[in-house]
Amino acid sequence: MELLLAVARLGSLGRAARELGITQPAASSRVRAMEQQLGVRLVTRSPSGSRLTDAGSLVTDWARRVVEAAEEFDAGARALRARRDSRLRVAASMTIAEYLLPGWLIALHGQLPGTAVSLLAGNSAAVARRLRDGEADLGFVEGVDVPGGLDAVTVAHDRLVVVVAPGHPWARRRTPVPARELAATPLILREEGSGTRQVVDAALAEYGGLAAPLLELSSTTAVKSAVSSGVGPTVLSQLAVADELAARRMVEVPVEGVRLARELRAVWPQGQRPTGPSRNLLSLTARD
């Protein structure tokens, strides 16, 4: 797939091969193999180079999504690996580590290639402790308030959104669901202790908190698939459902009378303004 992207970008099998560190015949045979599997010509070869066919650009676009996901995986993996002797030690809470950090690491690598970054993932308290103990240089936390002893800057606003399957009655609502009704409705939820669930519960406190859950599941994935199959509504981070919303596999339900938001913040020990690589990473993220 990377090869396909490289061919699209460079306009020649040989050049693409060189970029990937393989030889031209290897590239040629890979592309041929893929064409054979698909039964479709992907590139038009000519003595002056190769261009994608229509089918080829469609396949390449699909491939691009895979490659991008793989690059994020890789960036994250590298950071997990580089435990010791890394120049930048980052501690991050789960949502950020999962959805945002890989992208930031890729961007950072663009600015400072060769900088070893290490990642520790944990909850906000753990992140704060690491920073205070000098075990991390920069932290990222999600939540309503900043842990004590740390300076912070907001890098993003994470909205929690109420989502349902497209067939669910709420999907057709034009008027927002009142907070009271949301509080009274049994939802599909993560198990007690999940950060998202706590935020929702707190936000709905004045309406009596969350109703008894319709279903309690142990992973975000499980929640999503239950929602998709129409079991009921849930509340999830906008980051977790962006894809589903874009493709209308799920529908966002507007809610009234409650702020389901939480700040995503970069944090560091009080007074110690980030310098060096921390500063670079921060400048990639701080945007508001």
Interface pattern 26-55 for DNA (x via CB under 7 A): x-xxxxxx-----------xxxxxx-----
**Nearest of 17, 15, 7, 89 to residue 42 by alpha carbon:** 7
Q: Give which of a copy of itself, DNA, none residue 118 binds (C-beta under 5 to 8 Å, depending on kind).
A: none
By CB under 7 A, the count of residues binding DNA is 22
**Could you give the CA distance from residue 131 to residue 288 in angstroms, rounded to a whole number?**
23
Interface pattern 45-84 for a copy of itself (x via CB under 8 A): ---------xx-xxx-xxxxxx-xxx-xx--xx--xx-x-
**Could you give the CA distance from residue 87 to residue 199 in angstroms, rounded to a whole number?**
34
Q: Give which of DNA, a copy of itself, none residue 55 binds (C-beta under 5 to 8 Å, depending on kind).
A: a copy of itself
H or E element that contains 49:
strand 49-52
Interface pattern 84-103 for DNA (x via CB under 7 A): --------------------
DSSP 96-148: IIIIIHHHHHHHHHHHSTT--EEEEE--HHHHHHHHHTTS-SEEEEEESSPPT
Instruction: Mark the segment that binds DNA (CB under 7 A) among 21-29, 97-105, 126-134, 146-154.
Output: 21-29
Q: How many CB atoms lie within 10 A of CB 48?
A: 8
Q: Give which of a copy of itself, DNA, none residue 38 binds (C-beta under 5 to 8 Å, depending on kind).
A: a copy of itself
Work out which of 5, 8, 13, 120 binds DNA, going by CB under 7 A. Answer: 13
Residue 219 Cβ vs a copy of itself, minimum distance, rounded to whole Å:
8
* 249 binding a copy of itself? (CB under 8 A): yes
Work out which of 43, 117, 156, 255 binds a copy of itself, going by CB under 8 A. Answer: 156
Instruction: Mark the segment that binds DNA (CB under 7 A) among 17-25, 200-208, 231-239, 252-260.
Output: 17-25
CB 160 within 8 A of CB 261: yes
Q: What are phi and psi of 229, to 5 degrees?
A: -85, 15
Q: Sign of dihedral through CA atoms 151, 153, 155, 159? A: positive
Work out which of 2, 19, 98, 181 binds a copy of itself, going by CB under 8 A. Answer: 98
H or E element that contains 75:
helix 54-81
CB 195 within 8 A of CB 142: yes
**Could you give the CA distance from residue 190 to residue 146 in angstroms, rounded to a whole number?**
24
Please give the residue ranges that form the binding site for a copy of itself (CB under 8 A). Answer: 1, 8, 37-40, 54-55, 57-59, 61-66, 68-70, 72-73, 76-77, 80-81, 83, 94, 97-100, 102-103, 121-122, 156, 166-167, 171, 219-221, 238-239, 242-243, 245-249, 287
Please give the residue ranges that form the binding site for DNA (CB under 7 A). Answer: 12-15, 21-26, 28-33, 45-50
